[in-house]
Structure 1
């Protein structure tokens, strides 16, 4: 049975299904899914992710890790002679099967037609560059025609590349997809770390929603600033952090080189990026694990110190915790949710890091973020630290009495606190954790 098509909500802030239901984009990063896994392995991966509440999987057809010349798990390369106009039918039959499997399990595929190194050289990736404005359209139209009857596809152009200087190539590919489908698709652009699709394509007619990448270098990278910047742009478009820090990925506090001895991102860092982004106005969030994006196992050399096989890493703590964020948002009025940082009195955004010492001291660690229902029925405040005290102005909430509870982002459980007269209230997060969400309901 086909999944319902997606579209943009009437207020321009969210994704919804064609029948008007909220669609909280909970994605997983599986860039090498089509390239490195057999169909049997893909079924295991998709089954687990579906059970964990993920509804989007982001994967690349022309993959990053020598996706043109190293055959897929079935022994096929995607193109004949590296020619985008000559797709290999056997390779694409495997892609077809994986997309169908995803659909059966209630998952939408966030499909990148190609990784950016096939368009833009000189950064990273082995390439080679094969796309120009002309064949980008041909390839895009081929994809649109081939997947015209699929309703579970979100198109993602880019592939870890800035758009500057290549806008015509990406626009041509988008136009080809559009013409091949015979309808306007849901489509975005995946940029490099620290960037957003809005820098080049916000006003592009083909861009449905913005995607930023907060990346994998610093702990507490201020993705809340990236989300807010796009949230406040006109015309209004949804925004999401499509590649935050990956669980298990080495940290790079010096912005020079990833090394395991600097530590690895844990489920705690994953949660902080997720809740801060969504509470700042994002329409969902993308999780990632360092071993899973590259589908690392005994057959492949690990990239940047991956140390757990993918079929073990899919059960990592952070992956099992993301469903609680989705369930929390869907349990409350959805389309009227707005950022609400002004509810937090005496809180100012931390300055960006000025030097290496500042990066190591990590002054952004304690930064809380708030969201609320503009109709006044609830507010949610993310406390990133245990035993953290905040003053919260509840005057925008309805009624005279506020019911408060702590939401545990690790388990999804709520712990009732009590009822309070509306006003400026003071709360201190529990000692366990370390992070908590304060739920205030009118």
Structure 2
């Protein structure tokens, strides 16, 4: 993994553009057997996921409760004495993922092991052992080309008068030295903010991530968060690494009110599409039963109604796979966020329409959370004709394609209208002879 020349996108070492489609599997190594890991990876690969986010030192009693092979990750809670037997499953998982061209975004630790603001803890890291642990991990996995390092673990690097940044800096330094400075490092921060807030200028940080999260209701303006990062000096790629999870309680803290309900696949699509269309180099999906691998064997966490096996096939997981296919059917590197092309019909919050155009003004995509008639300025496209495609993000199917004379202001009317009837409109310059969207 590396940053593209445009500084906003990702690519693999052979120069191929890479669209990050992640899944949150935080408790993967802690709660699953080898056979269950196989089942999980096979499913996610089939649905189009190419990044799996998982923590070595897990959030929920990860230091005191052993994995399914009765192994704890550390001896005597000491980061400088890892337990080789615990890491065997991690080694195997990384190699299984590599066979499928999937990356593992590996969290060295959940954040409560650095700062005990909330969570099980205990906080065991300081600058010295964070460096040693990071260097040991880096050296162990330096030859695994499908490993991405994700520090943070749902915690800010600073808060009020507290500053844990030196610990994360030490861990990053260890990872870089252990991998001969080949580590690709990002940071998973807490809800409602981006890693750019405190870390953008850190030389070891290759990519920013944000967490639009689950605790601020529906339709957090993630498109504004993405654009904030996108416009920073010395830019870095950015994406939403934890949007609202499907089937997760809405606003569950400090106590969930069942009247708030759960986030649906529609909520997932709205946040995923709008973050990507605003300039995100990809997006991460999450399901509330899957990230924690809830089963009859494990206690649920915060009102989990779906087991992880049942949660694998929830509609939101398919929706984000359709998004990846849609993005990859056009040249997506260097695209230009341009919601101003919506000259009539733009909405706010839940109805906000996100739109972008290709860097050569050869195509555009518009995500409409609510089906309605809008008017679009198409003067950026210099062709006399235009191809209009209507793509249904709910089922991943192309519904209609129309060729017409290109008016400067074009009226767009999707096949169905109303709340919950979200659509993607793709506008093509016919001279480029692009394939139908999603192919």
TM-score range, shorter chain: over 0.9
Which one of 41, 55, 76 corresponds to residue 46 of structure 1? 41
Change (3 A) 1:422 1:211: same
* 1:162-241 paired onto structure 2 within 5 Å: 162-164=156-158, 165-217=163-215, 218-241=217-240
Greater Cα shift, 244-253 or 21-30: 244-253
Which one of 6, 11, 19 corresponds to residue 6 of structure 2? 11
Name the CA distance, whole Å, in 2 between partners of 1:45 and 1:256.
31
The answer on 1:69 being equivalent to 2:64 is: yes
Q: Which residue of 1 aligns with 2:155?
A: 161
Which one of 271, 275, 278 corresponds to residue 280 of structure 1? 278
* 1:132-171 paired onto structure 2 within 5 Å: 132-164=126-158, 165-171=163-169
Normalized against structure 2, the TM-score is what?
0.93
Q: Which residue of 1 aligns with 2:123?
A: 129
Q: Which residue of 2 aligns with 1:328?
A: 326
Q: Which residue of 1 aligns with 2:251?
A: 252
Superposition deviation, residue 183 in structure 1? 2.2
Q: Which residue of 1 aligns with 2:297?
A: 299
The answer on 1:23 being equivalent to 2:14 is: no
Whether the 8 Å contact between 1:324 and 1:412 is mirrored in structure 2 is: yes
Superposition deviation, residue 349 in structure 1? 7.5
Q: Which residue of 2 aligns with 1:397?
A: 381
The answer on 1:435 being equivalent to 2:422 is: yes
Q: Which residue of 1 aligns with 2:111?
A: 116
Aligned residues: 421
SS in 1 for 2:210: strand
Greater Cα shift, 337-346 or 145-154: 337-346
The answer on 1:243 being equivalent to 2:237 is: no
The answer on 1:411 being equivalent to 2:395 is: yes
Name the CA distance, whole Å, in 2 between partners of 1:205 and 1:162.
18
Whether the 8 Å contact between 1:196 and 1:210 is mirrored in structure 2 is: yes
Q: Which residue of 1 aligns with 2:81?
A: 86
Q: Which residue of 2 aligns with 1:384?
A: 369
Name the CA distance, whole Å, in 2 between partners of 1:73 and 1:338.
47
Q: Which runs of 5+ in 2 are unaligned?
A: 430-439
Whether the 8 Å contact between 2:383 and 2:406 is mirrored in structure 1 is: no
Whether the 8 Å contact between 1:156 and 1:189 is mirrored in structure 2 is: yes
Superposition deviation, residue 348 in structure 1? 6.7
SS in 2 for 1:129: coil
Q: For residues 347-369 of structure 1, what are the alpha-carbon distances to aligned partners after superposition, in whole Å with 9 as ceiling and x for unaligned?
A: 6774xxxxxxxxxxxxx111110
Whether the 8 Å contact between 1:62 and 1:114 is mirrored in structure 2 is: yes
The answer on 1:425 being equivalent to 2:410 is: yes
SS in 2 for 1:220: coil
Name the CA distance, whole Å, in 2 between partners of 1:142 and 1:177.
8
Superposition deviation, residue 346 in structure 1? 4.6
Whether the 8 Å contact between 1:385 and 1:429 is mirrored in structure 2 is: no
Normalized against structure 1, the TM-score is what?
0.93
When the two chains are superposed, the root-mean-square deviation of aligned CA atoms in Å is 1.4
SS in 2 for 1:365: helix
Superposition deviation, residue 261 in structure 1? 3.5
Q: Which residue of 1 aligns with 2:432?
A: none
SS in 2 for 1:440: strand
Whether the 8 Å contact between 2:344 and 2:376 is mirrored in structure 1 is: no
Q: Which residue of 1 aligns with 2:288?
A: 290
Superposition deviation, residue 321 in structure 1? 1.9
Greater Cα shift, 401-410 or 416-425: 416-425
Name the CA distance, whole Å, in 1 between partners of 2:181 and 2:409.
50
Whether the 8 Å contact between 1:260 and 1:305 is mirrored in structure 2 is: no
Name the CA distance, whole Å, in 2 between partners of 1:241 and 1:37.
26
Name the CA distance, whole Å, in 2 between partners of 1:121 and 1:53.
36
Q: Which residue of 2 aligns with 1:103?
A: 98
Superposition deviation, residue 301 in structure 1? 1.2
Name the CA distance, whole Å, in 2 between partners of 1:260 and 1:43.
35
SS in 2 for 1:62: coil
Superposition deviation, residue 428 in structure 1? 2.4
